[in-house]
Structures are given as structure tokens and as C-alpha cells.
Amino acid sequence: MSETTAREAAGTGTQERGFGARLLGALVRVREVSILIVLVGLALYFQTANPAFLSQQNILSLAQFAVPYVVIASALCLLLICGEIDLSVGQSFAFAPIVMYLAYDKLFLVLPLAVLVGLAAVAVVGLVNGLITVYLGVSSLITTLGMFFLLAGLNVTLTGGFPATTPETSSVTQALGESAWAGTIWALIIVAVLQLVLSRTRWGLHTYATGGNPLGAREAGVSIARIKIGNFILCGVLGGFVGIIESFRINSIDPLLGGPDIVLLCIASAVIGGTALLGGVGTVTGAFLGALVLTILRNGFTLQGISAYTFNIILGVAILIAMILNVYVARLRGAGRA
């Protein structure tokens, strides 16, 4: 082989290796790729194990079941990125439909106005969480834990501990969750809007800065208090809104609808999707994919008749692996290799 041919062959090999290294680096930088691979792999596995998994009826069931987790995980994502957490959003999920029902049934407001009253109530909850955390210096973990129990008591007290029936079917109730795919459409819209806000707006940039480098953000003129309080309000409102959607879907306003289970699963969804609990890192898309992974796991296990305890074991392992990978990728980036 001539010297020229040898040089060309060596150059081609270098380019191929260079492309492979660039591709690997790109995959490491895009956090959602790994969770997307897991998502596809789980879907293929459960479809192989049970052909009913991708049936039309089960896909609808999956989509409906995922809605609360997708929306709340996406809302929590913004709050986690700015370095805070909201444990009370699971109770806001039940509180907003109850306030809506009372405004409609006791105050005789028209349904759209009653919905706004319900959302205003959870916005106040988010505002109180934010004010206590930011201005009184109480950890958001403690603040929202207290609010969790306060709302849990209010939900039972306001309803007498018994579920109530949602208003009669109308175009409004159909749009708010009674229609089969209404909740899914709302969830996709919310995820798209939040991801755009996080990645394309000043609010998103300031949210990352607040969680990633609060001292630098403050010196750069970012209103950290406004960002945190705003994200607390947003989290509460979206948690309440998806609670209203879920109430119309099941045609029942249940004071026990929310609770620790939903909020912990939503936090797990965000973490599995790449959101760091210490703030500054994460995407709404990742939280969305994380929620889908957990939904598919639970649904697939149910179809196979596997115990719910097994789901909790796998969930715990998944969270640990996700956190270890987060730390490892952060080290790679710090070393300039990703």
C-alpha cells in the first residue's frame, strides 16, 4: 500500500473515531436519551411478555393514568431546579377540586368561575409556601410538609370525609377531563409550554441560575425571591388543575385523592428524568419521560400479575441509579469529557 493510501486510511479511521466520540459526547450531554432508551426497552419487553400491553384499550389506560404524574412532575421540575421542593402539591391535587365543588354547589357559581376559584385557592397555597420559605427562612421541606398536613385536614373537614359527585356533563366538563383523551391533551400542552419556558425564556434562565449559583444570580440582578415564589405558585396551580382534570375523569371529588404516594412518585419521576435535587439541573422533558417510565412499569407489572411490592423495589433501585448517574455525568462535565 502506498504512503498516500496509508495516510488516507489513517485519516478515515481518525474521522470515524472522531465521529463516534462526538456522538457519545452528544448522548452524554442529552440527559433524556438514556431515559428514552429505557422507556422504549420497557415498552418492548412488556409487549413481548403480554400482547395486550399495546392494545388500544391499554394505551388509553396508560395515557389517562400518566396525566397527574406527568403534570405534577413537570411542575415540580421547575421548583427542584431553583433549589426548592413542594411536598404539599399532592394535597393541592385534592384541594382544588374540593374548593371548585363548594364554589359550584354552595355558592352557586357557574362551573368555569368555580374552576377559577379552585385554582385561586391552590395559588394562595403556593404563595404561602413561597413566602414562608423565602422570607422567613424555613426550609421548603418543612414548610410544605406542614402545609401537606394542613391541607389533608382541610380536605377531609370540608367534605365531611365523603366523596362528592362532579357537576353534570357539559362541554366544560368534557374539556376538563370527562372526554377520554382530554387529560392527555392538557398534559402534553403543559409539558410543551413548561419546557419552552424553561429553555427559551428569561424566567427559565433565572430558574437555572437561582438553583445552580444563587450568589452569582443575586449579583447578576436576578430576583431570587420572585423566581422561587413564582415557581411555588406555578407548582400549586398545576397540581390543583390536574386534580380537577382527574376528578372529572373519574366523576368523583375525593378528599383522599391526593397524598404522599403521588407526590413521592412525581419527585421520583423528575429525579429519574435527570433533575438534580440540589438544584440547577433538569428538564421538563426528562421529568415527562420519567413519569412515563414509572407509569409503564406499574401498568406492565399489573398486567403480568406481579406484586406491587416489586414495583417499589425497582423504583428504589431506579432512583439510586439515576442519582449515581447524575453525579457521574456531573464529574465528567467538570473534567471536560462531556
pLDDT of 23 strictly over 80 = no
- What is d(CA 195, CA 275) in angstroms, rounded to the nearest whole number? 13
**What pTM does this model have?**
0.88
Instruction: Determine the pLDDT at residue 14.
Output: 47
DSSP string, 60-88: HHHHHHHHHHHHHHHHHHHHHHTT---TT
Cβ pair 133, 232 in contact under 8 A: yes
pLDDT of 234 strictly over 60 = yes
Say whether 157 sits in a helix, a strand or coil. Answer: helix
Instruction: Determine the pLDDT at residue 35.
Output: 86
Instruction: Determine the pLDDT at residue 246.
Output: 96
| 41, three cell numbers | 426497552
Decide which of 318 and 95 is more confident.
Answer: 95
Range with lowest mean pLDDT among 45-49, 54-58, 276-280, 295-299: 276-280
Average pLDDT over residues 150-154: 96
pLDDT of 268 strictly over 60 = yes
Say whether 108 sits in a helix, a strand or coil. Answer: coil
Average pLDDT over residues 169-190: 94
- What is d(CA 192, CA 74) in angstroms, rounded to the nearest whole number? 10
The pLDDT tens digits of the residues spanning 210-230 come to 999 999 999 999 999 999 999
pLDDT of 277 strictly over 70 = yes
| 57, three cell numbers | 384499550
Which run of H or of E encompasses 285? helix 284-304
Instruction: Determine the pLDDT at residue 333.
Output: 56
Residues 6 or more apart in contact with residue 331 via CB below 8 angstroms: none
pLDDT of 190 strictly over 90 = yes
